[in-house]
Structure 1
Amino acid sequence: MTVATALTAVRPLPGDPAGSVLGREPGAAESAETYLRSGGYGEAASPGRLLEAVDRSGLRGRGGAGFPAAVKLRSVRDRGGVPVVVANGEEGEPGSVKDRWLLRARPHLVLDGLSRAAEITGAGQGCVYLSDPYAATQVRRALREHPPRIPVEVIETAHTYVAGEETSVVRRINGGPALPAAKPPRPYERGVAGQPTLVANVETLARIALIAAHPDLSDAIARTTLLTLSSWRDAPVLLEAPYGVPLRDLAAGQGSGDAYGALMGGLFGGLVGSGALDLALDPVELAAAGTSLGCGAVRFLAPGGCPVAVAHDAVDHLAAESARQCGVCVSGTAALRDTLRQLATGAAGPDAATRLDRWAGGLPGRGACGLLDAAAGTAGSLLRAFPDAVRDHLAAACPVCAGCPSTGGHRLVVPVPDVAGIRPDPAPVH
């Protein structure tokens, strides 16, 4: 099995892009002048009415958990104090590129949404949190072009899987390591500098800005989402799609119309078989089917690949990215990885499936963050979605898996689409 190395393509929505996060020219960085001409940074409804519009639209967070955006905004607003709002652009999932692309290409849209969130919550300070130097350059440039109403600081961090978890974000901004912290308190209770803190994904904030500028399109804005679609064989695609589209249609649009399943939600939605491709792109429907849209990253399983190899690659990546704060995470992810590696190479004992099943049921919820849950969930979903493949691997070595190196997390990485005219600052992360 090889790796698709083609650059990621960007496909905008057809028709009027007024309510689109991808915008009119997704291949170019948007200037303040262009954004202002499109209605950005304009007068909008009062903060209270904007919050009502966000609530009515049903907008969910786009960072992975899909939590209602209006509930988070109200929780921070009603906590008192002087809140802080954070645009979280630290994209830890290897198969997702939407947040880095958004900060590189449309930083003004994100900063507009950050300002709207600050007005709703009464915040006195904002932060943009990221690890991508190209994105940092663009955000700083955008802040110079159109200074915000509140002080906004760009905070850079090292890129890791757990660095974008909300308590990791708060610890890093407060001067500590970007590692998950014990909960409670949660950031909305006590976060940056001890103040109630909204940690919002950058796409979530972008959609709040679009709702402010186009209230008549609120429902469509809330029910459209950015997706990173990939497979081992076909070039990846970043696109914007409305809820309700069958996953099978998305697979065909990406080039994987013959897909027999998918790895859903980055590394958090698990593996699903062919029947799940008839499900609609909808958080509620996917959750009812036992999977998740997560961060909007979907890796289709194309013929010629192997679901066991994909499960191994995912857990291998997670084991390598463990924060190593929880002993159960270190030992649990290593055990899952090693057993999946043995399964992939034909070296597993007859009890391998039994052990994977036991760990898949017993490990979730025991770590400080969701990394261990993702690893256990991936193993469990392999057993549920592809039991025949597991049995075949127990009986004999798999020729597809035999052609894969033993460490394979890098095979899940998708390149960020090119954005014309940007150069990274040489300043180091500090």
Structure 2
Amino acid sequence: MTVATAQTAVRSLLAHPTGSVLGAEPGGTENAETYIRSGGYGEAVSPDRLLEAIDRAGLRGRGGAGFPAAVKLRSVRDGGGVPVVVANGEEGEPGSVKDRWLLRARPHLVLDGISRAAEITGAAQGYVYLSDPYAATRIRRALGEHPPRIPVEVVETAHTYVAGEETSVVRRINGGPALPAAKPPRPHERGVAGQPTLVANVETLARLALIAAHPDLGDTIATSTLLTLSSWRDAPLLVEAPYGVPLHDLAGAQGSADAYGALMGGLFGGLVGRDALALRLEPGALAGAGTSLGCGAIRFLAPGGCPVAVAHDAVDHLAAESARQCGVCVSGTAAINETLRRLATGTAGPDATGRLERWAGTLPGRGACGLLDAAAGTAGSLLRAFPEAVRDHLSAACAVCAGCPTTGGHRLVVPVPDVADLRPDPVP
């Protein structure tokens, strides 16, 4: 099985460009002047009215959990102390590129979002948290072009799957390791420097800034989302799409109109079969079907590939990225990964499906973060969505799987779209 290595394209499926997070020139980094001309950094409504507009529009977080943004903002505002706002741009999912693209291409939109969130919560300090050096350069330059209303510091971390988990973010900013911490307390209760902290995905903050600039378009802004679409065969695509688009239409936009399923939500939404591609892109509809939008990364299963190989790739990556703080996570992800490896190579015993089914039911919720849940959920979804493929692997080796190297997490990685530096001083 070969791997698509073509550059990621950028495309909008929105009917009207106003209120789009892609902006007018998604192929280049906007400067402060360009952003201000588009309506950014303008005088917005009062913080209370902006919060009402966010609530009314139904904006949800874009980091994975989809939590209502207005509820999170109120929790931090009402938590006492002096709040802190963190733009979380540490994109741990290998199949997602939207956050790094936003930080590289639209740094002022993200910084404007930090300022608006600070006005709502009363925060006196902001942070941009990331691991991408290109994005860090562009954010620092944007801070120099248009200093925000509160001090904003860039905090860099090593790129890992768990580094973007909200308690990992807080620990790293507080000077510790970027590893998940026990909960409670959650960051909105006690976070950076012990203060109530809003840890918000950068796309969430970008949409908050757009609602501030275009309150009349709040519903449209809140119900559009960035998606990273990929497959093993066709070039990946970063797309902005409205809720309600059928998944098979998204597959067609990416070049995989003949897809027979998908790996949803990065590594968290599990595998779904062909019938699920008739579902519409809407968090409630996806949840009702037992899957999720997660971080907005969807990997379509194109003919010529194998769902068992995809499941093994996903769990192989998760096992390698375990923080190794929880014994159940270390042993659980390793056991699932080894069983899927044996299944992929045609060497699994007859009890393999029973063990995978048992782990899928008993391991979720037992780790400090969602990594173990993702591994167990991937195994369970493979059994549900592709039982025939699993049975076939029990009786014979698979030619597709045999052509894959032993470790395959790298096959899920999608390159960040090209973002030209429009300044004379290029990013190193």
For this structure pair, what is the TM-score category when the shorter chain's length is used for normalisation?
A: over 0.9
Where does structure 2 lack aligned partners over 5 or more consecutive residues? none
The aligned amino acid for 2:390 is: V
Task: State the TM-score, normalized to the length of structure 1.
Answer: 0.98
Q: How does 1:178-193 map to 2 (within 5 A)?
A: 178-193=178-193
Where does structure 1 lack aligned partners over 5 or more consecutive residues? none
For residues 54-85 of structure 1, the C-alpha deviation after alignment (integer angstroms, 9 at most, x for no partner) is 00000000000000000000000001110000
C-alpha distance in 2, partners of 1:203/1:180?
22
| Matching residue of 2:248 | 248
C-alpha distance in 2, partners of 1:16/1:238?
17
Please report how far the alpha carbon of residue 16 of structure 1 lies from its aligned counterpart in structure 2 after TM superposition. 3.7
Task: State the TM-score, normalized to the length of structure 2.
Answer: 0.99
C-alpha distance in 2, partners of 1:100/1:358?
37
Please report how far the alpha carbon of residue 14 of structure 1 lies from its aligned counterpart in structure 2 after TM superposition. 5.2
C-alpha distance in 2, partners of 1:231/1:212?
36
Q: Is the 8 A contact 2:246 2:277 kept in 1?
A: yes
C-alpha distance in 1, partners of 2:284/2:43?
34
| Matching residue of 1:349 | 349
| Matching residue of 1:37 | 37
Q: What SS does structure 1 have at the residue aligned with 2:267? A: coil
C-alpha distance in 2, partners of 1:121/1:17?
29
Matched, 1:319 2:319: yes
| Matching residue of 1:268 | 268
The aligned amino acid for 2:195 is: Q
Please report how far the alpha carbon of residue 421 of structure 1 lies from its aligned counterpart in structure 2 after TM superposition. 1.3
Q: Percent identity of the aligned residues?
A: 86
C-alpha distance in 1, partners of 2:249/2:313?
26
| Matching residue of 2:127 | 127
The aligned amino acid for 1:187 is: P
| Matching residue of 2:233 | 233
RMSD of the alignment, in Å? Answer: 0.9
| Matching residue of 2:4 | 4
| Matching residue of 2:81 | 81
Runs in 1 of length 4+ with deviation above 6 angstroms?
A: 422-426
Number of matched residues?
A: 426
C-alpha distance in 1, partners of 2:177/2:154?
16
Q: Is the 8 A contact 1:136 1:424 kept in 2?
A: no
Q: Is the 8 A contact 2:4 2:232 kept in 1?
A: yes
Q: What SS does structure 1 have at the residue aligned with 2:218? A: helix
Q: What SS does structure 2 have at the residue aligned with 1:373? A: helix
1:413–1:207 CA distance, 2 compared to 1 (3 A): same
| Matching residue of 1:291 | 291
C-alpha distance in 2, partners of 1:218/1:151?
27
C-alpha distance in 1, partners of 2:118/2:419?
28
Q: What SS does structure 2 have at the residue aligned with 1:76? A: helix
| Matching residue of 2:174 | 174
Q: Is the 8 A contact 2:223 2:243 kept in 1?
A: yes
C-alpha distance in 1, partners of 2:106/2:366?
38
C-alpha distance in 1, partners of 2:397/2:245?
38
Q: How does 1:262-411 map to 2 (within 5 A)?
A: 262-411=262-411
| Matching residue of 1:418 | 418
Please report how far the alpha carbon of residue 12 of structure 1 lies from its aligned counterpart in structure 2 after TM superposition. 2.7
Q: Is the 8 A contact 1:137 1:424 kept in 2?
A: no
C-alpha distance in 1, partners of 2:176/2:426?
25
| Matching residue of 1:68 | 68
The aligned amino acid for 1:90 is: E
Q: Is the 8 A contact 1:89 1:130 kept in 2?
A: yes
Q: What SS does structure 1 have at the residue aligned with 2:302? A: coil
For residues 126-160 of structure 1, the C-alpha deviation after alignment (integer angstroms, 9 at most, x for no partner) is 00000000000000000000001100000000000
Q: What SS does structure 1 have at the residue aligned with 2:330? A: helix
The aligned amino acid for 2:328 is: V
C-alpha distance in 1, partners of 2:310/2:91?
20
Q: What SS does structure 2 have at the residue aligned with 1:233? A: coil
The aligned amino acid for 1:160 is: T
Q: Is the 8 A contact 1:13 1:20 kept in 2?
A: no
| Matching residue of 1:50 | 50
C-alpha distance in 1, partners of 2:228/2:208?
21
The aligned amino acid for 2:380 is: G
For residues 253-300 of structure 1, the C-alpha deviation after alignment (integer angstroms, 9 at most, x for no partner) is 100000000000000000000000000000010001000000000000
Q: What SS does structure 2 have at the residue aligned with 1:171? A: helix
| Matching residue of 1:98 | 98
Q: Is the 8 A contact 2:84 2:196 kept in 1?
A: yes
| Matching residue of 2:218 | 218
